[in-house]
Each structure stands twice: as structure tokens, then as C-alpha cells.
Amino acid sequence: MKLSGVRIRNKITAMIPARMGSTRLPRKNLALLGGKPLISYAIAAAKKSGVFNRIVVNSENTLFAGIAKQYGVDFYKRPARWATSRAKSDSVVYDFVKNNPCDIIVWVNSISPLQSGGDIEGAVKYFIKKGLDSLITVKEEQVHCLYKGRPVNFRRKGVFARTQDLTPVQPFVYSVMMWRTSSFMRTFEKRGRAVFSGKVGFYPVGKPASVIIKRKEDLMLAEFLLRVAKKKSAYRVKYVKGIKAAKGGPKP
């Protein structure tokens, strides 16, 4: 397999987690977005990326086996104990890799419906080129940021910094996470945790990929953005007309 000039000798598996239980938005993976189930967008993006040897929906509920079959991907039934709200990501990944061996495991988040195949391809390419063992996607925001009331990327003394001059903060997005399984499994078996195992890297993604569906309001936003995206090529910025500058004032 070849990825934009980078030869891939590893077996790379996409794991799309789909837990049925959710307190903030019940059965969110089955919620319709643009007339299709939410999880279908992750499946489509994983397929379009062209970087996977195998794509697997990972759920405790066999209802998702039917969805996986409908969209032409595999299904893994995870044990119920790894499908509760208390289950840690580390344990979910460990259980999956133990039963589905591969060289690189890529967690494609089912609740990031606006990420594209190109987003996923770029993250995998970055992971391989940098020789990473762990990767999590982030978004970069040039905004004045505090932590426990203290400035993170600006100073209170002196001239107030312009946002375009700020060092971007990088909140986690989780649209994609990935691990080299040899490092992950070794670290987990030694420490009982492995999200940050071996050489860790972070990959910035754009605004669409950073839209994560956790509540009804998030779903409403994604629905709106999908509609706008369909008209993107025809969209143009419009400005107010018919307003004259005040006498003696600056011209617009």
C-alpha cells in the first residue's frame, strides 16, 4: 500500500467504536444526520481515506453488526464490560487489538461526522513519517487562554496581544487517535494504561473535523454545516449596501 509517496508496510486497521449507551444524547450513533445514521459518516470517511487494510465497527450491541454489513465493513462484538460509561479507552483498544491483530490501530471517532477521508489520510501519513507510537488529533486556536485563572499564551503586563500574534492553544479533538500496537500492548500490560505510549505526537485538524457530537445542540450544528457545505461552491460573502459615510468621517 502506498500513501501519497509514503510506502506502508504495516497492516493498518480502522476501529470505529459505537457504544449504544449515552447519557447526554441517547443512542447518538443511530441519530440521523442528513438522513443517514451518524456512524455512517465515520465509515465513509475511513473508506475514502484509502489507508486501511480493514475497517471494523466495534460495539457491544449486534444492531451495529447489521449497519456494518450494510456499509460493507466488518463488525467486532466487544464484551459488555468494555461498553459502560466507566470503561477506559485504553481497555477498549487493548481488548480490540488482542482479538484483531494489526500493526497500527486507528480509532476513527464515530461522533466526528464532518471529518474527511483526507483528514484521516493526513493523520496516518504524519504518524508514519514521524515514526510515532501514539497520536491524537487537536485543533489550533489563536485565542487568549487561561488555566486556573493564569494566562497560558499571553501576558497581563504590557500591551494586550493581538489574537493573530498569539501562540495557538491545542485542545484535543479525538476525531482520530492511533497507536503502534507493539508499543501500546507492551505499555498496557506493564502499566494498565497506554493512550500515551512510546513516542507521542499531535496532529492539527480543521474546524469541520473538530465538531464532536455529544449533545442535541452538536447534532443541530452539524446538520446546519452539512447543508452549508453542499452550497459551498456557490457561496459568496455579501456586504451591506446603501450606507453613506458620515460627513467629515473616514471613507470605507
Which pLDDT tens digit goes with each residue over 202-252? Answer: 999 999 999 999 999 999 999 999 888 877 667 788 899 888 877 765 655
Pick the closest to residue 107 from 9, 175, 199, 161 (CA basis).
175
**In whole numbers, what is the pLDDT of the chain averaged over residues?**
91
Task: Give, rounded to a whole angstrom, the gap between the first and last alpha carbons of the chain.
Answer: 55
- Does residue 129 carry a pLDDT above 80? yes
- Does residue 5 carry a pLDDT above 70? no
Q: What is the pTM of this model?
A: 0.89
Ranges of each domain in the chain: 2-234
Residue 248 exposed, middle or buried by CB count within 10 Å (0-12, 13-18, 19+): exposed
Q: Centre a 10 Å sphere on the Cβ of residue 237 and count the other Cβ atoms it contains.
A: 4
Name the CATH superfamily housing domain 2-234. Answer: Spore Coat Polysaccharide Biosynthesis Protein SpsA; Chain A (3.90.550.10)
Which pLDDT tens digit goes with each residue over 188-202? Answer: 999 999 999 999 999
Assign 4 a pLDDT band (cuts: 50, 70, 90): low
What length is written for the chain? 252
Pair type for strands 12-17 and 6-7: unpaired
Which pLDDT tens digit goes with each residue over 30-85? Answer: 999 999 999 999 999 999 999 999 999 999 999 999 999 999 999 999 998 988 88
Residues 133-158 have a mean pLDDT of 95
CA distance 78 to 98: 11
State whether residue 180 is helix, strand or coil. strand
DSSP secondary structure string for all residues of 102-159: -SEEEEE-TT-TT--HHHHHHHHHHHHHTT-SEEEEE--B-S--EETTEESSS-SSSS
CA distance 36 to 30: 9
Q: What is the DSSP letter of 71?
A: T
pLDDT at res. 72: 97
CA distance 6 to 4: 6
Q: Give the CA angle between residues 105, 71, 77 to the nearest 5°.
A: 55
- CA distance to 11, 14, 97, 200, per residue, from 181 (Å): 10, 13, 7, 13
Pair type for strands 12-17 and 104-108: parallel
